[in-house]
Amino acid sequence: MIRKKEAKKIVFQSEKEMPMMPMSLGSMLYNKTGAWRNIRPVVDLENCIQCGICWKFCPDMSIFIENEFPYVNYDYCKGCGICAEECPVKCIAMVEEEK
Partner 1 sequence: MKKPRTMKLSLPDEELVGSGNLACQGCGATLAMRYVLKALGQRTVLCIPACCWSVIDGPFPHSCLDVPVYHCAFETAASTASGVKAGLEMVGDTETTVVAWAGDGGTFDIGIQALSGAAERNDDIIYVCYDNEAYMNTGIQRSSATPFGAWTTTTPVKHFKNRPKKDIDAIMAAHRIPYIATASIAYAEDVYKKAKKAKDIQGTRFLHIYAPCPTGWKSRPEDSIRLARMVVQNSIFPLYEIENGEKYTLSIKVKDKKPIHDYLKLQGRFRHLTEDQIKFMQEEVDKNWARLLRKVESSD
86 membership: H or E segment, kind and range: helix 82-86
Distance CA(84)–CA(95), nearest Å, equals 11
Burial pattern 11-41, b for ≥16 Cβ within 10 A else e, equals eeeeeeeeeeeeeeeeeeeeeeebeebeebb
34-73 positions binding ligand SF4, by CB under 6 A: 41, 58, 60, 62-63, 72
Distance CA(94)–CA(75), nearest Å, equals 16
Rule CB under 8 A: say whether 59 interacts with partner 1.
Answer: yes
Give the per-residue contact string, 66-85, with partner 1 (x = CB under 8 A; - = no): -xxxx--x-xx-xxxxx-xx
Q: Please measure the distance between the N-terminal and C-terminal CA atoms of the chain and give it in whole angstroms.
A: 36
> Which of 22, 79, 95, 99 is the binder for ligand SF4 (CB under 6 A)?
79
Residue 72 binds which of ligand SF4, partner 1, none (CB < 5-8 A, kind-dependent):
ligand SF4
Report the interface residues with partner 1, using CB under 8 A.
Answer: 1, 4, 9-10, 12, 18-19, 22-33, 36, 45-46, 50-52, 55-57, 59-62, 65, 67-70, 73, 75-76, 78-82, 84-86, 94
